[in-house]
Amino acid sequence: MTTTANTPSLEFDCDTGNYHTFCPISCVAWLYQKIEDSFFLVIGTKTCGYFLQNAMGVMIFAEPRYAMAELEEGDISAKLNDYEELKRLCLQIKRDRNPSVIVWIGTCTTEIIKTDLEGIAPKLEAEIDIPIVVARANGLDYAFTQGEDTVLAAMAQRCPTEEPATKTIEPEKQERNGIGKLLSLGRKTEAAAPDEAPAADEYYDHPPLILFGSVPNPVVTQLNLELKKQGIKVSGWLPENRYTELPVIKEGYFASGVNPFLSRTASTLMRRKKAKVIGAPFPIGPDGTRAWVEKICSVLGIEPQGLEEREAKIWESVEDYVSLIRGKSVYFMGDNLLEIAMARFLIRCGMTVPEIGIPYMDKRFQGAELQFLERTCEEMGVPKPKITEKPDNYNQIQRILEIEPDLVITGMAHANPLEARGINTKWSVEFTFAQIHGFGNTRDILELVTRPLRR
Amino acid sequence: MKLAYWMYAGPAHIGTLRIASSFKNVHAIMHAPLGDDYFNVMRSMLSRERDFTPVTASIVDRHVLARGSQEKVVDNITRKDKEENPDLIVLTPTCTSSILQEDLENFVERAQLDAQGDVMLADVNHYRVNEIQAADRTLQQIVEFYLKKAAKQGDIATEKTEKPSVNIIGITTLGFHNNHDVTELKRLMADLGIEVNAVIPEGASVHELKHLPRAWFNLIPYREIGSLTAEYLLREFDMPYVDNTPMGIVETARCIRSIQKILNQGGVEVDYEEFIDEQTRFVSQAAWFSRSIDCQNLTGKRCVVFGDNTHAAALTKILSREMGIRVVLAGTYCKYDEAWFRNQVEDHCDEVLISDDNGAIADKIAELEPAAIFGTQMERHVGKRLNIPCGVIAAPIHVQNFPVGYRPFLGYEGANQIVDLIYNSFTLGMEDHLLEIFGGHDTKEAITQTLSADKELNWSPDGLTELKRVPGFVRGKVKRNTEKFAREQGYTEITAEVIYAAKEAVGA
């Protein structure tokens, strides 16, 4: 490692792509929960179903709003008509669940037999009168979190380009409040909906800003509030809690991604919706959150306030955790594309990173994050990590056994065997499902990272 | 197309992988897209394996779609052959490779030229068979492969062992309590004075397979996996087999009597009746339990049984024959082997259900309202929703069904374990019922009232919304911390902003 200490810039490598990760169809598990009026139909085989059922554990028992359209031999050999089959299933879904949108997840099998999902969807949509969004989240092309990217990219195109006439949504809101009033027995203060526009002077006058990336609602609130502190109004999120509430996006709007795996969504927003995507580091860790807010401020021409103190205060409050990992090394095997931002944050915490494995490296979308990583390494005086795209798990394990890092962030397939060889591990998927964004969740990330070192 | 939310048996390749990774030093290479190696996660997590699961993928990606796998599969096989020196590499087709229709057989032949170990293609069709059938088939295929190879090389061992001996066939990784069952079976064989010639596939080396014909007979503890192998060995080597699952007192006795018959025919006079009597009356508590007053209370209680063929059939018989419990419904998801199941349970239950649709079973349970359910993890969840206790007796299973403690289902100790499982399910149900009659013993309300927070603070609607999003088990703590913070900071109203400020300040 000493030889790389003076490397002028990051080293990129690409291996065989023989690594363990989740299939991108796993995105339905968190997206169906996020988009409350959706139904996800995965058009694939028993293999896909078996993965979802096992990977999602107990969630499957909560009457999920997702199902498999399981292809049978007759579908493969085209003895059955795709259109008729899908129509039958979608009508059944409409009858049983009545969702506001059905998302079709195309899989490896539909790719290979070339099912024309994009062609069938508009026709069927017109016939059954429910929007059908098609996302090809398959293992031939993508890894794990990239599944969300394909869904959001498809959904971006459904975002309205014009504000709906405000009058039309008013009656429904009124009605809801009406019920609310009844239930709260006339406690008037509650009837003022929380998202009713705050006084206009709380915000600067800036072009509308849309954030994209599916994060739990508490994270949405926290990031909205973070920007509100700078006088920036978040006009909407892709996705919102309901499909029917997708935000307006049109030419001249700004957009910013909150997760590093959203490159297709970003390019769709730029090319198709003519929005300007702000290239910033991602709001993971206090350093990342500050850099993210600063970048948005600078693009919108706003002078950021009090961020330095805020970041310092957070660092102070997590010093007990940071002191546990300072000087230790962490190795990322790579499976969920959060690796660069996580590594950058952990280097800032004082860790060293010999290697960052990552399924796919979009140097453009992650450009700011990569620069930030380099800068962080320089400022912390640690060697720059090697970034291995499409890693080969077998080769990685040989390297891990050789360099014996203090912590390996890896998938569940390798965790127990590595532990049995005396190497501390942390499951990478936990970072996908935990709340890791914003200043307020710093402690939560460190809680996860330090757990194997504390026990 | 079929709308499906859940499945009982996995896809075919899972069965092949279970067999391959049960053997020692056998590696499986899946011809599959990225993400299909989920088997490794299951094996590593469920059975807490210390070793890397010997399964890798030869990844099918866009390039493979465009140009075919070409050298890729062959390279991956020879690479793995060099890296890990496995005795055997099993090339495993998946649903994806089924439709690509590449000539995998040809890849295997080419790879065999360079590989030091053996290479074979698992002969399973994704769209025709499921996990269980594929496992049965793959085991037979591997056994046949090595016996033929040994025959060709002339080093097959066909002379019988001196003392009576047995092959135990069908113990696999990720099998329901298989690792405990095999210990119990070995113990039983030792008690009967029978040597264990081989246990396959779990923990076996492929080199042992040529010694299989030395055993006097084969024991197939599970209906689902091993039958094809036993049939093959009967056909080719005239080896008799016993396929009575020794689960429950009566069936264990039957299994031992079948063994006795085979040994007697082989010219060894054994009489196990005394042993059976001794075990039944003194070692196993199950027979005494069925006479005890506890079990009397269970007489006529209604229950539903659902699972794989082996376990559902055995449990049905135990419940009705050994405990006097009324099985109102016995069912299996092994549709392909329906006749066998019907034949086994017909006399022991009111109704038979053959289905792999979990919705249909749940509806049936709701309709029948049994006092207890014995099923898979899916039925356990149905039970939770309907407030009916459930004992898990068959796969699909979760990590809690891979206990660290000794929990066989087979043999005499297995009978004890099953008694506990059954009795605990029913008493829990009874307790629950009594609690309901007496209005529960929940006194939380009265105690926590004095602990309730100061009312001076006002929670704004968005504050309350955020609070509701906090998971229930920490909500109280978050509420207290936030209110404390708000009081210290002099806020009178708690908004979402205050909650997150408090979170940052308190660090909780």
Residue B508 has pLDDT above 60, yes or no: no
Q: Which of B3, B36, B51 sits opposite A47 (nearest CB)?
A: B36
Contact A51 B470 (CB under 8 A): no
Q: Which of B1, B38, B466 sits opposite A69 (nearest CB)?
A: B1
Contact A140 B40 (CB under 8 A): no
d(CA B325, CA B315): 11
Q: Chain A within 8 Å of B60 (Cβ-Cβ)?
A: yes
pLDDT tier, B69 (very low <50, low <70, confident <90, very high otherwise): confident
DSSP per-residue string spanning A318-387: THHHHHHHTT-BEEE--SSS-HHHHHHHHHHTT-B-SEEEES---TTTTHHHHHHHHHHHHHHT-PPPEE
pLDDT in tens, A359-410: 999 999 999 999 999 999 999 999 999 999 999 999 999 999 999 999 999 9
Place of tokens 């009508």: A91
Nearest to A317, CA basis, from A348, A286, A293, A351: A286
Residue B453 has pLDDT above 80, yes or no: no
To test the contact with chain A by mutation, choose from B8, B21, B38 the residue with the greatest count of A C-beta atoms within 10 A, namely B38
Contact A105, A28 (CB under 8 A): yes
Q: How near does any CA of chain B get to the CA of A168, in Å?
A: 25
Nearest to B270, CA basis, from B223, B227, B217: B217
Residue B89 has pLDDT above 50, yes or no: yes
To test the contact with chain B by mutation, choose from A15, A25, A48, A50 the residue with the greatest count of B C-beta atoms within 10 A, namely A50
Contact B34, B57 (CB under 8 A): yes
pLDDT at position A227 is 96
Place of tokens 């199941």: B341
Q: How near does any CA of chain A get to the CA of B104, in Å?
A: 17
Contact A140 B465 (CB under 8 A): no
Chain A nearest-CA residue for B43: A413
Q: Chain A within 8 Å of B34 (Cβ-Cβ)?
A: yes
Q: Chain B within 8 Å of A413 (Cβ-Cβ)?
A: yes
Residue B391 has pLDDT above 60, yes or no: yes
Calculate mean pLDDT across residues B415-421.
Answer: 94
Contact B33 A394 (CB under 8 A): no
Which residue type does B225 have?
Answer: I
Which residue type does B199 have?
Answer: V
Catalytic residue ranges of B = 294
Contact B93, B122 (CB under 8 A): yes
Contact A333, A408 (CB under 8 A): yes
Q: What is the DSSP letter of A248?
A: P
Contact A17 B38 (CB under 8 A): no
pLDDT at position B337 is 96
Place of tokens 């001794």: B278
**H or E segment to which residue A34 belongs:** helix A27-34
Chain A nearest-CA residue for B72: A16
Q: Chain A within 8 Å of B83 (Cβ-Cβ)?
A: yes
Contact B56 A67 (CB under 8 A): no
In chain B, pLDDT over 90 holds for what percent of residues?
Answer: 67
Q: Within 10 A of A220 (CB to CB), how many other CB atoms are there?
A: 21
pLDDT at position A184 is 41
Q: Across all residues in chain A, what is the average pLDDT?
A: 89
pLDDT in tens, A394-405: 999 999 999 999
pLDDT tier, B414 (very low <50, low <70, confident <90, very high otherwise): very high
Q: Chain A within 8 Å of B2 (Cβ-Cβ)?
A: yes
Q: Chain B within 8 Å of A184 (Cβ-Cβ)?
A: no
A7, A9, A350, B450 from A3: Cα distances, Å: 8, 13, 20, 65
In the sheet that holds B372-375, the strands lie side by side as: B352-354, B326-332, B302-307, B372-375, B390-392
Residue A182 has pLDDT above 50, yes or no: no
pLDDT in tens, B240-290: 999 999 999 999 999 999 999 999 999 999 999 999 999 998 888 888 888
Residues of A in contact with B59 (CB under 8 A): 17-18
Q: Chain B within 8 Å of A109 (Cβ-Cβ)?
A: yes
Q: How near does any CA of chain B get to the CA of A58, in Å?
A: 9
Residue A244 has pLDDT above 70, yes or no: yes
Higher pLDDT, B254 or A79: B254
> Can you name the residues that pair with B302 across neighbouring β-strands?
B326
Query: Three-state SS string across B105-150, please?
Result: HHHHHHHHHHCCCEEEECCCCCCCCEHHHHHHHHHHHHHHHHHHHH
pLDDT in tens, A187-211: 444 334 444 444 556 899 999 999 9
In chain A, pLDDT over 90 holds for what percent of residues?
Answer: 80
Quick one: how many helices (H) and strands (E) in chain A? 20, 14
pLDDT at position A1 is 42
Contact B38 A23 (CB under 8 A): yes
Query: pTM for the whole thing?
Result: 0.88
pLDDT tier, A60 (very low <50, low <70, confident <90, very high otherwise): low
Region for A381 from its dihedrals, namely left if φ exceeds 0, alpha if ψ lies in -120 to 50, beta otherwise = left
Torsion sign (Cα): A292, A293, A299, A305: negative
Residue B448 has pLDDT above 50, yes or no: no
**H or E segment to which residue A228 belongs:** helix A217-228
Q: Which value does ipTM take for this structure?
A: 0.87
Q: Which of B76, B96, B378 sits opposite A109 (nearest CB)?
A: B96
pLDDT at position B454 is 52
Contact B126, B94 (CB under 8 A): yes
In the sheet that holds A355-358, the strands lie side by side as: A11-14, A386-389, A355-358, A330-332, A407-410, A425-427
- Tell me chain B's radius of gyration from C-alpha atoms: 28
Contact A112 B95 (CB under 8 A): no
pLDDT tier, A57 (very low <50, low <70, confident <90, very high otherwise): low
Q: For residue B156, give every residue at least 6 positions away whose Cβ sits within 8 Å of its Cβ, in sequence order, or none.
A: B147, B150, B210, B213
In chain B, pLDDT over 70 holds for what percent of residues?
Answer: 95
pLDDT in tens, B306-364: 999 999 999 999 999 999 999 999 999 999 999 999 999 999 999 999 999 988 999 99
Cα-Cα-Cα-Cα torsion B420, B426, B429, B435, nearest 10 degrees, comes to: -80
Q: How near does any CA of chain B get to the CA of A371, in Å?
A: 28
Q: For residue B278, give every residue at least 6 positions away whose Cβ sits within 8 Å of its Cβ, in sequence order, or none.
A: none
pLDDT in tens, A86-103: 999 999 999 999 999 999
Q: How near does any CA of chain A get to the CA of B461, in Å?
A: 6
Contact A218 B470 (CB under 8 A): yes
Residue B449 has pLDDT above 60, yes or no: no
pLDDT at position B440 is 61
Residue A167 has pLDDT above 50, yes or no: no
Q: What is the DSSP letter of B394?
A: S
Q: Which of B4, B62, B503 sits opposite A140 (nearest CB)?
A: B62
Q: Across all residues in chain B, what is the average pLDDT?
A: 91
Nearest to B357, CA basis, from B12, B10, B13, B3: B3
The whole-angstrom distance between residue B382's C-alpha and the CA centroid of its chain comes to 19
Residue B25, helix vs strand vs coil: coil
Contact A45 B126 (CB under 8 A): yes
Q: Chain A within 8 Å of B50 (Cβ-Cβ)?
A: yes
Contact A139 B469 (CB under 8 A): no
Q: What is the DSSP letter of A164?
A: P
Q: Which of B2, B100, B462 sits opposite A194 (nearest CB)?
A: B462
B8, B108, B504 from B79: Cα distances, Å: 35, 13, 51
pLDDT at position B251 is 96
Q: How near does any CA of chain B get to the CA of A442, in Å?
A: 9
Q: Chain B within 8 Å of A69 (Cβ-Cβ)?
A: yes
Contact A417 B44 (CB under 8 A): yes
pLDDT at position B330 is 97
Cα angle value A386/A388/A392 (rounded, 5°): 135
**Least confident interval from A39-43, A242-246, A326-330, B356-360:** B356-360
Calculate mean pLDDT across residues A326-340.
Answer: 96
Which residue type does A1 have?
Answer: M
Interface of A with B in 299-318 (CB under 8 A): 313-314, 317-318
Q: Which of A20, A46, A190 sits opposite B95 (nearest CB)?
A: A46
